[in-house]
């Protein structure tokens, strides 16, 4: 076999590729873990721990996927709203001092 620059380059390239595959660290399988989807529910902060007004609470619920947000009561420490999401109606209580959802009850399914 006659060695030409082309065959030397091709042999060298295949040797380097083989060496890279053999010398590379073996991929260790990672430990299995569950993929968790985050959903809004009781305990989630709407306003990153800052106080909210009645209108801000309603607007923040709208940005979290709730529709037809209606104010039930905005007096006192907790603001109460009724809203719908995915064909269900909810009554949601939001704490005024930090914007945290403290209670979320499904009231009915929308038809």
Per-residue model confidence as pLDDT tens digits over 21-63: 666 665 566 676 766 655 555 555 677 778 899 999 999 999 9
38 HSE (CA, 13 A, CB side): 5
What pLDDT does 106 receive?
92
Q: Is residue 101 part of a domain?
A: yes
Residue 37 lies in a domain: no
Residue 60 belongs to domain with CATH number: 3.10.450
Assess if residue 81 is contained within a domain: yes
Domain that holds residue 63: 54-109
Above 60 in pLDDT, residue 76? yes
pLDDT exceeds 80 at position 16: no
């Amino acid at each position: 076999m006659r060695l030409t620059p082309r065959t030397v380059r091709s042999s060298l390239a295949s040797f380097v590729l083989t060496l890279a595959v053999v010398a590379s660290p073996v991929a260790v399988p990672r430990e299995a873990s569950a993929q968790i989807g985050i959903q809004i529910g009781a305990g989630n902060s709407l306003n990153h721990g800052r106080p909210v007004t009645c209108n801000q609470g309603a607007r923040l619920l709208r940005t979290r996927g709730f529709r037809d947000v209606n104010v039930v009561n905005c007096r006192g420490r907790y603001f109460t709203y009724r809203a719908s999401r995915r064909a269900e109606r909810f009554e949601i209580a939001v704490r005024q001092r930090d914007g945290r959802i403290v209670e979320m009850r499904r009231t009915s399914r929308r038809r």
